[in-house]
């Protein structure tokens, strides 16, 4: 049991910049941080007649996520790693959002397990180029972070920070 606890704690610590980066856009939108950056990342462009990312993926969320995630990483002692993990988390979320739009899944509609693991996969893919990741990270991170993401999202809805999703 200690081994599972140890791996989980290591994953949470290692991915903390990605976790913060993934949560930051929700707070940035909710509390209207940087309102002048609340513009869609996709510039309202379409692909196959569908929005590429939609209105909810904004420059404000990207900036808030990368800055806050990187600040956490600076506190942890590695700015470069945290920058890559933060950017990777947001890239993973954007790729998943683009897939949802192209599959006609409405914005905000729950898409299990991708809504829960998108940021972890993005952080692994981009962060893995700059930071050594172990097999345990690759296998366990989507599980640990997916369960955690689901729980935190549910809590955010209950606390009124996040909108309810189907």
pLDDT tens per residue, range 5-50: 998 999 999 999 999 999 999 999 999 999 999 999 999 999 999 9
Domains of the chain: total: 1
Residue 165 forms part of a structural domain:
no
Q: What is the pLDDT of residue 131?
A: 86
**Element holding 35 (H helix, E strand):** none
**Nearest partner of 59 among 96, 34, 32, judged by Cα:** 34
Locate all alpha helices (DSSP H) within 79-134, ordered by sequence: 79-102, 114-127
3/149 Cα distance (integer angstroms): 22
Residue 55 forms part of a structural domain:
yes
Residue 87 forms part of a structural domain:
yes
Q: What is the pLDDT of residue 165?
A: 59
| CB distance 133 to 15 below 8 Å | no
pTM of the model: 0.93
Residue 166 forms part of a structural domain:
no
Tokens 């950017």, residue located? 87
Counting Cα atoms < 13 Å in the Cβ hemisphere of 91 gives 13
Residues of the chain with pLDDT under 70: 1-2, 164-166
Contacts of 37 (CB under 8 A, 6+ apart): 58, 59, 60, 63
User: Which pair of tokens denotes residue 149?
Assistant: 């993401």
Residue 52 forms part of a structural domain:
yes
Range of the domain at 148: 2-158
Q: What is the pLDDT of residue 166?
A: 47
Residue 164 forms part of a structural domain:
no
């Amino acid at each position: 049991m200690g081994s599972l606890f140890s791996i989980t704690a290591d994953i949470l610590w290692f991915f903390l910049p990605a976790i913060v980066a993934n949560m930051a856009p929700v707070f940035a939108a909710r509390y209207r941080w940087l309102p002048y950056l609340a513009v869609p990342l996709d510039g309202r462009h379409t692909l196959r007649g569908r929005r590429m990312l939609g209105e909810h993926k904004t420059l404000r969320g990207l900036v808030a996520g990368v800055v806050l995630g990187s600040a956490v990483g600076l506190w942890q002692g590695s700015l470069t790693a945290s920058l890559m993990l933060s950017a990777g988390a947001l890239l993973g979320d954007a790729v998943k959002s683009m897939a949802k739009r192209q599959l006609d899944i409405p914005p905000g509609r729950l898409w299990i397990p991708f809504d829960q693991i998108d940021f972890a996969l993005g952080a692994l893919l981009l962060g893995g180029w700059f930071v050594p990741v172990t097999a345990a990270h690759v296998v366990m991170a989507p599980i640990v972070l997916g369960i955690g993401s689901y729980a935190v999202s549910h809590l955010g809805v209950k606390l009124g920070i996040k909108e309810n999703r189907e």
